[in-house]
Amino acid sequence: MVLKAKRIVAAVIALTFAICLLCSCKSTENSLPSAIYAGNKLYYTFSKDDFSESTKQLDEKVIVKDNWFADSLLSSLSEGLAKAKNLSEEEALKEIFNGGYKIYATVNPNIQNAAEKVFADSATFEQREGYPYAQSAAVIMDYSGRVLAVTGGGDGDRTLNRATRITRQPGSAIKPLTVYSRAVMDNSINYSSLIFNKPLIIQSLNGATPWPKYDDTVGAEVTTVQALARSVNTCAVQVAQNYTAEDTVEFLQNDLGFSTIVTNQSENDLSLSATALGYLTKGAYLYELCAAYQMFGNGGKYFEPIFYTKIEDRNGNVIINKTQKENIVLDSQTATIMNRLLKEVIESDEGTGKPAELKGIEAFGKTGTTTDKHFVGGTPEYLGAVYTGYDDGTDVSVGYTKSPTLIWKKIFEELELTKTTFELDNSVITKKFCSASGGLATNKCTKTEIGYYKTTALPTICALHK
Ligand SMILES: [Zn+2]
């Protein structure tokens, strides 16, 4: 039903826009197209009648109907203007087309164009034999919540913006948010703690059932870094039990800005399946999922994602000066340790994010697989979230092994990336740990790795190789 309602909203906006293009936006004394600025450049206008004329002065020629960012922006603008001027969203939308506003958008035209170029290339997408291309969407933002690009594609109807209008199951992409970051923050685990790889026993009418599915190839105990790299469900569930579902969903809603969390109906998100494994009752918006990952690249902060910073009327009066919700979610040591843990998802040989690895640029990320596939990852400058899936719920996880990670990589390879390393909290110390015990390595340990620790939460010396 939610999906259907979203489709209708999308269709209404598309229709209103189409009608507007056909008849109601002729430039008269009172009607003036709004101008969208990206940085100091005029990016585009929302009105077709004036578009032909104004393209002369456009620095970037973009056809509005084919631009996904414009769709997300319109939706955000009509909501903001409706509130600011006490209008219905439909009236606000008309105002935006005819009102002569000057809108300062967060879009980065270079990044938008790069993302669209990747999505326009059918070689970007894997295709399973006998199935149509899956739908896909991507959001790119910076570490202060400014959405820089939105795109989508596959075999989709382009009026349906899957990045900002459709919710999807984030799956394991939720684990770093709800489980691991909180456990590192309160020192219940560290970079190399051993976590039990065993299912819970769920009692039901059918008897005792082990849950979630147990992967016995991994070992009975798994280090934190390995549990994340391999995305071991049983480990996430073991750690998630430290927190009540009520606390976890409050964290998702209040600290990380997820707007679709359900707590007040019989089917809700107050379960380990939702909080540890990301099977949310209503799913999550891709741009909200992306925004939640900011904290792993900016020292622990959350900024509400935005599509514009300011709206001025035709006389230059400021109508909306956008203020963002801003939270300090993690202490900076925890943010650094999480950044290093999630870097291994991409860099370690067993990491599920390995296909996203960029040459010479550090990156962190996490995959999520349900009937949809997600990848959220960041470089020192930008953060991106990509999803692939079918609108009708057909399982995309079989046969589409790498899609979101590869799409993410293709987009990031198109960007001008100048920073190669993250700024880390230098009070976090590095120590060699024993891969078998997770303890600080002795000279008798046979296999060791480098771990990242708070000085106040170091592991004990390896007990296996004293
Ligand atoms: Zn050892």
pLDDT tens, residue by residue, 51-66: 333 444 444 444 444 5
| CA dist list (Å): 90 to 13, 40, 117, 310, 361 | 8, 29, 32, 20, 44
Task: Check residue 24 and give its pLDDT.
Answer: 41
Nearest Cα neighbor of 380 from 300, 301, 298 is 298
Assigned token pair, 404: 């979101």
- Residue 417, in any domain of the structure: no
pLDDT at 39 over 90: no
Sheet containing 102-105: give its strands across.
41-45, 35-38, 102-105, 308-312, 318-321
pLDDT tens, position by position, 240-266: 999 999 999 999 999 999 999 999 999
- Please name the residue that has the structure tokens 């569930």: 237
- Residue-range definition of the domain harbouring residue 256: 171-278
CA 377 – CA 364 distance, rounded (Å): 5
Give the residue-averaged pLDDT of 16-40.
Answer: 60
Task: Check residue 66 and give its pLDDT.
Answer: 52
CA 212 – CA 237 distance, rounded (Å): 8
For strand 167-168 and strand 284-285, is the pairing parallel, antiparallel, or unpaired?
antiparallel
Indicate the number of domains in the chain. 1
Assigned token pair, 141: 């933002």
Assigned token pair, 308: 């514009």
Grade residue 400 by pLDDT with cuts at 50, 70 and 90.
low
| CA dist list (Å): 23 to 17, 19, 97, 414 | 10, 6, 12, 39
**Residue 435 CA to ligand 1 centre (angstroms):** 7
Residue that wins the pLDDT comparison between 57 and 410 = 410
Q: What is the DSSP letter of 20?
A: I
User: What percentage of residues in the chain have a pLDDT greater than 70?
Assistant: 86
- Residue 62, in any domain of the structure: no
**Residue 233 CA to ligand 1 centre (angstroms):** 25
- Would you call the peptide bond into 404 cis, given omega within 30 degrees of 0 as the criterion? no
Is 271 exposed, middle or buried, given 0-12, 13-18 or 19+ CB atoms closer than 10 A? middle
- Residue 369, in any domain of the structure: no
**Residue 462 CA to ligand 1 centre (angstroms):** 5
Task: Check residue 52 and give its pLDDT.
Answer: 37
Residue that wins the pLDDT comparison between 10 and 255 = 255
Task: Check residue 68 and give its pLDDT.
Answer: 81
Q: Say if CB 393 and CB 150 are below 8 A apart.
A: no
**Residue 439 CA to ligand 1 centre (angstroms):** 7
pLDDT tens, position by position, 362-385: 999 999 988 889 999 999 999 999
pLDDT tens, position by position, 350-367: 999 999 999 999 999 999
Helix (H, G, I), strand (E, B) or coil at 369: strand
Q: Which sign does the torsion angle of CA 280, 285, 288, 294 carry?
A: positive
**Residue 351 CA to ligand 1 centre (angstroms):** 23
pLDDT tens, position by position, 80-132: 999 999 999 888 888 888 888 999 999 998 999 899 899 888 888 877 777 77
**Residue 447 CA to ligand 1 centre (angstroms):** 7
- Residue 330, in any domain of the structure: no
- Residue 439, in any domain of the structure: no
Query: Which ranges in 220-316 belong to alpha helices (H)?
Result: 224-229, 233-240, 245-250, 272-275, 286-292
pLDDT tens, position by position, 125-171: 877 777 777 888 999 999 999 999 998 765 444 456 777 778 999 99
Name which of 3-12, 366-375, 432-441 the model is least confident about. 3-12
Residue that wins the pLDDT comparison between 453 and 45 = 453
- Residue 213, in any domain of the structure: yes
Q: The whole model's pTM is what?
A: 0.90
Alpha-carbon torsion, ordered 428, 432, 435, 439, to 10 deg: -70
CA 356 – CA 302 distance, rounded (Å): 24
pLDDT at 13 over 50: no
Full DSSP string of 105-157: E---HHHHHHHHHHHH-GGGS---TTSPPPEEEEEEE-TTSBEEEEEEESS--
In sequence order, which residues have a C-beta less than 8 Å from that of residue 376 and are 6 or more positions away?
A: 173, 289, 290, 293, 365, 366, 368, 383, 384, 385, 386
**Residue 434 CA to ligand 1 centre (angstroms):** 4
- Residue 218, in any domain of the structure: yes
Task: Check residue 6 and give its pLDDT.
Answer: 43
**Residue 341 CA to ligand 1 centre (angstroms):** 20
**Residue 457 CA to ligand 1 centre (angstroms):** 18
CATH number, domain containing residue 181: 3.40.710.10
Assigned token pair, 24: 């109601």
- Residue 177, in any domain of the structure: yes
pLDDT tens, position by position, 309-350: 999 999 999 999 999 999 999 999 999 999 999 999 999 999
